[in-house]
């Protein structure tokens, strides 16, 4: 079938809206008509080839839409179902089978390979092959053929025009707090980076009843917005060393938990340095492959701090996304405050606004 998609033709090139040919869903696949899809920093990372994906490619990995057709072997959804799309995994390796699909042994191939497991793509532009199945979905398109493991059924009365970001960015931030760190009530947390992922973490820290929630960012407007969302304190990096500011807020103790969401290696060092004794730091932000950071190891030996890397908020999407929707409906996870909608044709504007801090979470609507 003919679809319209936003294609990345070359490294760092603008998106091109093209008419493409989309194959019918094969075994273990679902055809989804897109209603909306989020714009995530990871899409920018891939467009700039910080993490390589074969180009040209259709990106997008926070889709929400309606099932049009299912392939052989798909039984958990049927035509007409409303769905959110998340990351893909094999479902067969040790990590997938033990409830940790974000650490799938074939995560790279299933999400960044641009092809199905058999090496084929679902997209073509004339005789040219265009990479599909980005995060199992390639949702920057009017229709997508999606891997079944990426498909999460949601209630039919839930607002599809808002739900797409739950598939990655908001799932990652909220899951990092509620699943990965799992802070006890009354604990303290600092979130470095108050973008979409960081904002979701701040909302989740309130669900977890953290007593001190510190938002750290270089954009003063984002610091202020994070406090509107419920952060108890804001740290503007432009006003001085963020570690010193955090130590002042905590009376010199540091925080029990800290999250790094920016992907900037030097910020990860600050994240660790802001920890209390026996504190835990979580690394979410995607840096360029090969990036390194140094840590102080002498005095650290008696601090007992922990560093953990976090993929997709350690979430099983089919379990965690419905939980976030219920929290939203209960008024406890108001992620709609983060979202600004853009028509699909304004995809470049959405990316620019996100990069420059004017919009926390852009969502493209079809």
Q: What CATH number did the domain enclosing 111 receive?
A: 3.90.180.10
21 and 49 co-located in one domain: yes
Residue 329 placed within a domain: no
The domain total for the chain is 2
147 and 103 co-located in one domain: yes
7 and 138 co-located in one domain: yes
Which pLDDT value is given to residue 288?
85
Residue 275 placed within a domain: yes
Residue 188 placed within a domain: yes
216 and 271 co-located in one domain: yes
Which pLDDT value is given to residue 289?
86
116 and 7 co-located in one domain: yes
56 and 126 co-located in one domain: yes
Which pLDDT value is given to residue 52?
87
Contact present, 320 and 179 (Cβ < 8 Å):
yes
204 and 80 co-located in one domain: no
157 and 192 co-located in one domain: no
Which pLDDT value is given to residue 50?
87
Residue 104 placed within a domain: yes
Place of tokens 């620019």: 352
Q: What CATH number did the domain enclosing 266 receive?
A: 3.40.50.720
128 and 207 co-located in one domain: no
Q: Pick from 295, 310, 325: which residue ends a domain? A: 310
Residue 269 placed within a domain: yes
The candidate with the shortest Cα–Cα distance to 141, out of 251, 204, 60, is 60
Q: Which domain holds residue 351?
A: 2-167+334-365
In b/e form, how buried is each residue of 48-81, taking b as 16+ CB within 10 angstroms?
eebeebebbbbbbbbbbbbbbbbbeebeebeeeb
Residue 323 placed within a domain: no
112 and 261 co-located in one domain: no
Residue 64 placed within a domain: yes
One pLDDT digit (tens) per residue for the chain, 366 residues: 999 999 999 999 999 999 999 999 999 999 999 999 999 989 999 999 988 899 999 999 999 999 999 999 999 999 999 999 999 999 999 999 999 999 999 999 999 999 999 999 999 999 999 999 999 999 999 999 999 999 999 999 999 999 999 999 999 999 999 999 999 999 999 999 999 999 999 999 999 999 999 999 999 999 999 999 999 999 999 999 999 999 999 999 999 999 999 999 999 999 999 999 999 999 999 888 899 999 999 989 999 999 999 999 999 999 999 999 999 999 999 999 999 999 999 999 999 999 888 999 999 999
Residue 159 placed within a domain: yes
200 and 263 co-located in one domain: yes
191 and 300 co-located in one domain: yes
């Amino acid at each position: 079938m003919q679809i319209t998609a936003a294609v990345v033709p070359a490294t760092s090139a603008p998106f091109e809206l093209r008419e493409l040919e989309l194959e019918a869903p094969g075994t273990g696949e679902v055809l989804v008509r897109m209603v909306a899809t989020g714009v995530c920093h990871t899409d920018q990372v891939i467009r700039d080839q910080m993490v390589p994906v074969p180009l040209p490619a259709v990106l997008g990995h926070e889709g929400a839409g309606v099932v049009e057709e299912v392939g052989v072997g798909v039984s958990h959804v049927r035509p007409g179902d409303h769905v959110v799309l998340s990351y893909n995994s094999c479902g067969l390796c040790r990590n997938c089978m033990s409830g940790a699909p974000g650490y799938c042994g074939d995560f790279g191939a299933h999400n960044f390979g641009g092809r199905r497991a058999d090496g084929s793509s679902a997209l073509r532009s004339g005789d040219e092959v265009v990479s599909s199945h980005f995060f199992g979905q390639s949702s920057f398109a009017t229709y997508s053929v999606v891997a079944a493991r990426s498909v999460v059924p949601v209630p039919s009365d839930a607002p599809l025009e808002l739900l797409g970001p739950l598939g990655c960015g908001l799932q990652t931030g909220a899951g990092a707090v509620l699943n990965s760190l799992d802070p006890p009530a009354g604990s303290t947390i600092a979130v470095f980076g108050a973008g979409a992922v960081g904002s979701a973490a701040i909302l989740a820290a309130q669900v977890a009843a953290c007593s001190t929630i510190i938002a750290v960012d270089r954009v003063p407007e984002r610091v202020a917005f994070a406090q509107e969302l419920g952060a108890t304190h804001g740290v503007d990096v432009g006003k001085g060393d963020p570690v010193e500011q955090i130590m002042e807020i905590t009376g010199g103790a540091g925080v029990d938990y800290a999250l790094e969401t920016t992907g900037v290696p030097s910020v990860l060092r600050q994240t660790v340095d802001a920890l209390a004794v026996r504190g835990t730091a979580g690394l979410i932000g995607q840096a360029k492959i090969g990036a390194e950071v140094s840590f102080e190891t002498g005095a650290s030996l008696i601090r007992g701090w922990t560093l953990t890397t976090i993929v997709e908020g350690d979430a099983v999407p089919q379990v965690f996304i419905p939980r976030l929707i219920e929290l939203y409906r209960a008024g406890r996870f108001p992620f709609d405050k983060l979202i600004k909608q853009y028509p699909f044709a304004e995809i470049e504007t959405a990316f620019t606004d996100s990069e420059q801090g004017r919009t926390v979470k852009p969502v493209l609507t079809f």
